[in-house]
């Protein structure tokens, strides 16, 4: 079923073999509620805890491909959720820092990762809008929730040459890639439209 899912993603334009191998390897059904696990290898998003969703495999593959992860790179992920995207980044051999603001999901995924032997460098409960300055700069930052605007903190925590992949917009989002060219210059490229749950800012 996973091989078939990977074939579907190839047909939709995913070409990065390392990303496709991760999709072929990761048991997505274990990242989902048991009531949906029979559908895990469809290319669809599904509900997880706390009114959030596990992203569609195509979306995960598309974002992972845009990030161009290389082994040992330091990657910051905003929106751990089920941990599926995190697992893809780990299979790409990244050093992963991941932030989740829903306590229920944070706890659940942390326990699950322990059982499964997935080892991000750090799992953080908090507001990813602010990034994670104490570990910055990052080779890549991936946001897995829809951002009404691009958080400035994330731009500032990218290495020169680093890549920020973020869906920007309220109801619908445009997948956007920022490559940091210098201290002040960012090259912006826009891709297709996607639908994510919102990136929420904790105003305190
Ligand atoms: N990559 C996850 C996506 C989950 S949906 C998966 O495929 O399972 C997006 C996640 O972003 C949700 O879990 C939501 O709680 C989280 N999120 C929203 N705003 C956030 C913020 N400001 N900081 C960290 N996580 C946030």
Distance 116 CA to ligand 1 centre (A): 20
Q: Are strands 173-180 and 158-168 parallel, antiparallel or unpaired?
A: antiparallel
Range 68-74, long-range pairs (CB < 8 A, 24+ positions): 68/140, 68/163, 69/18, 69/93, 69/94, 69/139, 69/140, 70/139, 73/139, 73/140, 74/121, 74/135, 74/137, 74/138, 74/139, 74/140
Tokens of 200: 């929420």
Tell me the C-alpha distance between 127 and 101, whole Å.
5
Q: Of all protein residues, whose CA lies closest to atom 17 belonging to ligand 1?
A: 79
- Work out which ligand 1 atom sits closest to the CA atom of 128: 23
Tokens of 175: 């997948």
How many other C-beta atoms are found inside a 10 Å radius of the C-beta of residue 111?
A: 10
Distance 16 CA to ligand 1 centre (A): 24
Query: Per-residue pLDDT for the chain (204 aa), expressed as one digit of tens each?
Result: 999 999 999 999 999 999 999 999 999 999 999 999 999 999 999 999 999 999 999 999 999 999 999 999 999 999 999 999 999 999 999 999 999 999 999 999 999 999 999 999 999 999 999 999 999 999 999 999 999 999 999 999 999 999 999 999 999 999 999 999 999 999 999 999 999 999 999 876
Note the pLDDT of residue 204: 64
Do residues 160 and 140 touch, judged by C-beta distance below 8 A?
no
Catalytic entry in 15, 34, 35, 55: 55
Q: Could you tell me the domains of the chain?
A: 2-194 (3.40.50.150)
Sheet of strand 158-168: strand arrangement: 122-125, 95-100, 74-78, 138-143, 158-168, 173-180, 186-194
Q: Is the bond preceding 99 in cis, omega lying within 30 degrees of 0? A: no
């Amino acid at each position: 079923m996973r091989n078939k899912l990977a074939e579907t993603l190839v047909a939709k334009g995913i070409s990065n073999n390392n990303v496709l191998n991760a999709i072929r390897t990761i048991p997505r059904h274990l990242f989902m509620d048991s009531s949906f696990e029979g559908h895990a290898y469809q290319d669809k998003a599904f509900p997880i805890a706390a009114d959030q969703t596990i992203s569609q495999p195509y979306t995960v593959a598309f974002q992972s491909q845009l990030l161009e992860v290389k082994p040992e790179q330091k990657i910051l992920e905003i929106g751990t959720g089920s941990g599926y995207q995190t697992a893809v980044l780990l299979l790409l051999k990244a050093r992963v820092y991941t932030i989740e603001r829903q306590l229920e999901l944070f706890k659940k995924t942390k326990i699950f990762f322990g059982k499964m032997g997935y080892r991000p460098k750090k799992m953080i409960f908090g507001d990813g809008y602010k990034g994670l300055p104490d570990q910055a700069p990052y080779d890549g930052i991936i946001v897995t929730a829809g951002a009404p605007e691009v958080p400035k903190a994330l731009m500032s925590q990218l290495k020169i040459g680093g890549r920020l992949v973020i869906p920007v917009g309220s109801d619908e989002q445009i997948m956007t890639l920022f490559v940091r060219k210098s201290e002040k210059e960012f090259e912006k490229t826009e891709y297709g439209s996607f639908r994510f749950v919102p990136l929420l800012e904790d105003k305190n």
